[in-house]
Structure 1
Amino acid sequence: MRILIVTDAWRPQINGVVRTLEKLGETLGEMGVVVDFLTPLGFRSVPMPSYPDIRLALTLPGKVARRIDEVQPDSIHIATEGPLGFLARRVCLSRGIPFTTSYHTRFPEFLRARLPVPESWSYRWLRRFHNAGSGMMVATPSLGRELSERGFDNICLWSRGVDTSLFSPGRRRDLGLPGPIFLNVGRVAVEKNLPAFLDLDLPGSKVVVGDGPALEALKARYSDVHFLGVRTGDDLASIYASADVFVFPSRTDTFGNVILEALASGCPVAAFPVTGPLDIASDGHEGVVVDEDLARAAMTALAIPRATARAKAETYDWRECSQQFLRNLPAARHCLPAATLRLPASITEGISR
């Protein structure tokens, strides 16, 4: 089977969407599925207004159509609602080609944080974009229920995984900072709501890993916070393992891959009771504390055993995640053996609960 994934989010960006798609492609490849990516690489691009690190591809429908023809995929998945995603959708609709989409980013809230654009306008456009496909994949049941209430159709569940070899409690070391250490990793941008973490009255040290358009302003405002910039690979994994609590103040993420990375590293998580943290915390295991009082959540999380956090992460597997993705593709049911698509009941209950 051959799949073409169309995404406007790609390297050199470092974010949850890019990491998810890269790992999905790698895991599907190990399963014998050929995955091609249509990304902004190879096209002229312009920086996204207010967020220059994100590049928007400049191309035409004909070029996107030619790429589809070159790949001749059995399935097309449109991962983002950017220029490439829009053009691929246009080509598929004009040719009567089925396609699936995924909802990775709360774009209406993202846009509202930067411009005075009513969320209702953005949701209206997103409904039209996604409802044209044969299925829209979401990372959590709670997000699926929310979007269903907003008029989105054909919603299916596609969870996430985590690399438990890279992110491990065994990488813990002394960071040379007063403890306890409260950590955040991710894009340093307005929609991540970082002041909700940085304003907290907590003992020890606060550490932020990542880059983004709000970095310099936050550095100037919070001189007591340790901003470490972008870290990757073993270095990032060691920082996760060396922290005592991971604080996730975002209210707009659709999942939060960094939560799983922290848990896999043995680092308990404190978060607001929103989509993503609520879903991870609601499966009967400990490891994540959700509370509208984020300081209370952070202090409560300090008492969670690191082994408990690790055990939580081990329930999220990339192979199961990739099988779930395949299950949502109509063509997969004809191109792959049933054993490849079989999933544990625990992750096929989906959004119907």
Structure 2
Amino acid sequence: MTRITIVSDAWYPQINGVVRSIENTNRELTRMGVDVAMVTPQDFSSVPCPTYPEIRLSVATYWQVASAIKASGPTAVHIATEGPLGLMARRWCLKNDMPFSTSYHTRFPEYVAARFPIPLRWLNAFVRWFHNAGNGCMVATGSLERELSKLGIKNLLRWSRGIDQTVFHPMDLDDRPFDLPRPIFMTVGRVAVEKNLPAFLDLDLPGSKVVVGDGPDRAELQRKHPNVLFTGTKTGEELARAYAQADVFVFPSKTDTFGNTILEALASGVPVAAYPVMGPIDIIEEGSGAGALNEDLREACLAALACRREDASRLARRYTWEAASQQFLVNVLKAQSERPRRRPGTRPLPAA
């Protein structure tokens, strides 16, 4: 039996694209008969991340992480994040001659540089060092693959994303959703600096603006924009109903590598307005009628108002978690079959 151990610094109670991608992939892998084990911050003590307390950083020794991985008895290891757990899992795999794959979910150098005064070239070098140690680095889109290739990251593998259309789908609209005048321009996600929310909140738009989500910048943005509705975090059916009430979904981020919320909005029948950057340009196809991309975000928002909801939901139907999870499994097995070169001083994986 294939037994995959996934190591991720991002896990519940966090709600973000990394967590949702792994959660949905695990569900599909289990249906395929794959045994999946997780090593996450829930297994160890943790402390709040500086500048972003909602994210917990694991406080674990190498031997604790090594013991957790070994106990799971993996035939393959996938490292999802470049955080403390990811670093120790990388060390364990190299020490034990264990093949592993990685994935690149967030533009890590830009994410860190937005919070700490670390030169971008150092962060790029770290990303290259981290991912090139494995037998494959999974990326969601062609534009991300091209960017990472220029950085010198090798063995890039495609792992797309999906959408659960039993949850996210068009619904009957309220005449006055959230008790606000239409049109409703909505964004969903972490309320944090990397999401570039002021670019949306500062726009002069008709109707109303709604922000669904929470994060370290919420209090300050709510104070600056008293006419914007901040709903806090929503999940499941409540989130699906929120999407369906929007007239346009606004995606102001310039640092996301994909944008799972774009798919959720499209599946809900909501056209998307965004910048023509990585993520949106990979999903919103030209001529699809599912949204509008423009360097002027206001123009994109107004153009998206004219898009048809049917075209948005039609585009989303191309993305399924079953297909994305099949990609993931093929990538993991490919990485597992290519044994890494032994380094001096390392030893083979102990017998299970």
Q: Where in structure 2 are the equivalents of 1:201-280 lying within 5 Å?
A: 201-280=204-283
Query: Counterpart of 2:110?
Result: 109
* Sequence identity percentage: 57
Within the candidate set 319, 323, 328, 1:325 is matched to 328
Query: Counterpart of 2:17?
Result: 16
**Contact 1:326–1:332 at 8 Å: present in 2 too?**
no
Q: Distance in 2 between matches of 1:181 and 1:4?
A: 42
Are residues 284 and 34 of structure 1, via their aligned partners in 2, closer, same or farther at CA, if it must alter by over 3 Å? farther
Q: Distance in 2 between matches of 1:20 and 1:283?
A: 26
Are residues 86 and 100 of structure 1, via their aligned partners in 2, closer, same or farther at CA, if it must alter by over 3 Å? same
Is structure 2 residue 130 aligned with structure 1 residue 136? Answer: no
1:142 partner letter: S
Query: Counterpart of 2:87?
Result: 86
Q: Distance in 1 between matches of 2:74 and 2:336?
A: 15
Worse-matched range after superposition: 321-330 or 252-261: 321-330
Query: Counterpart of 2:349?
Result: none
- CA positional deviation for 1:27: 0.9
Q: Which ranges of 4 or more aligned residues in structure 1 deviate by more than 6 Å?
A: none
Is structure 2 residue 69 aligned with structure 1 residue 76? Answer: no
- CA positional deviation for 1:332: 8.2
Query: Counterpart of 2:350?
Result: none
Q: Where in structure 2 are the equivalents of 1:1-353 lying within 5 Å?
A: 1-170=2-171, 172-173=173-174, 174-175=176-177, 176-282=179-285, 285-330=288-333
- CA positional deviation for 1:101: 0.2
Q: Distance in 2 between matches of 1:91 and 1:225?
A: 48
Report the 3-state secondary structure (helix = DSSP H, G, I; strand = E; otherwise coil) of the residue aligned with 1:41. Answer: helix
**Contact 1:277–1:288 at 8 Å: present in 2 too?**
no
Alignment gaps of 5+ in structure 1: 335-353
**Contact 1:3–1:75 at 8 Å: present in 2 too?**
yes
- CA positional deviation for 1:34: 1.0
For residues 282-303 of structure 1, the C-alpha deviation after alignment (integer angstroms, 9 at most, x for no partner) is: 3763313111011111111111
Instruction: Specify which structure has the bigger relative contact order, considering alpha-carbon pairs within 8 angstroms and separated by 6 or more residues.
Output: 2
Are residues 283 and 67 of structure 1, via their aligned partners in 2, closer, same or farther at CA, if it must alter by over 3 Å? farther
Q: Distance in 2 between matches of 1:302 and 1:324?
A: 34
Report the 3-state secondary structure (helix = DSSP H, G, I; strand = E; otherwise coil) of the residue aligned with 2:9. Answer: coil
Report the 3-state secondary structure (helix = DSSP H, G, I; strand = E; otherwise coil) of the residue aligned with 1:330. Answer: helix
Report the 3-state secondary structure (helix = DSSP H, G, I; strand = E; otherwise coil) of the residue aligned with 2:249. Answer: strand
**Contact 1:139–1:254 at 8 Å: present in 2 too?**
yes
**Contact 1:172–1:238 at 8 Å: present in 2 too?**
no
Worse-matched range after superposition: 250-259 or 169-178: 169-178
For residues 85-110 of structure 1, the C-alpha deviation after alignment (integer angstroms, 9 at most, x for no partner) is: 00000000011111000001111111
2:8 partner letter: T
2:116 partner letter: L
- CA positional deviation for 1:331: 5.5
Q: Distance in 2 between matches of 1:210 and 1:171?
A: 23
Q: Distance in 2 between matches of 1:118 and 1:288?
A: 36
Are residues 138 and 82 of structure 1, via their aligned partners in 2, closer, same or farther at CA, if it must alter by over 3 Å? same
For residues 72-97 of structure 1, the C-alpha deviation after alignment (integer angstroms, 9 at most, x for no partner) is: 11110000001110000000001111
**Contact 2:259–2:280 at 8 Å: present in 1 too?**
yes
**Contact 2:75–2:336 at 8 Å: present in 1 too?**
no
Alignment gaps of 5+ in structure 2: 338-352
1:71 partner letter: S
Q: Distance in 2 between matches of 1:65 and 1:322?
A: 26
- CA positional deviation for 1:172: 3.3
**Contact 1:263–1:269 at 8 Å: present in 2 too?**
yes
**Contact 1:280–1:288 at 8 Å: present in 2 too?**
no
For residues 238-293 of structure 1, the C-alpha deviation after alignment (integer angstroms, 9 at most, x for no partner) is: 11001000000000001110000000000000000110000012376331311101
**Contact 1:327–1:333 at 8 Å: present in 2 too?**
no
- CA positional deviation for 1:114: 1.6
For residues 105-147 of structure 1, the C-alpha deviation after alignment (integer angstroms, 9 at most, x for no partner) is: 1111111212222211101011000000000001111000011
For residues 16-46 of structure 1, the C-alpha deviation after alignment (integer angstroms, 9 at most, x for no partner) is: 1001111110111111111111001121111
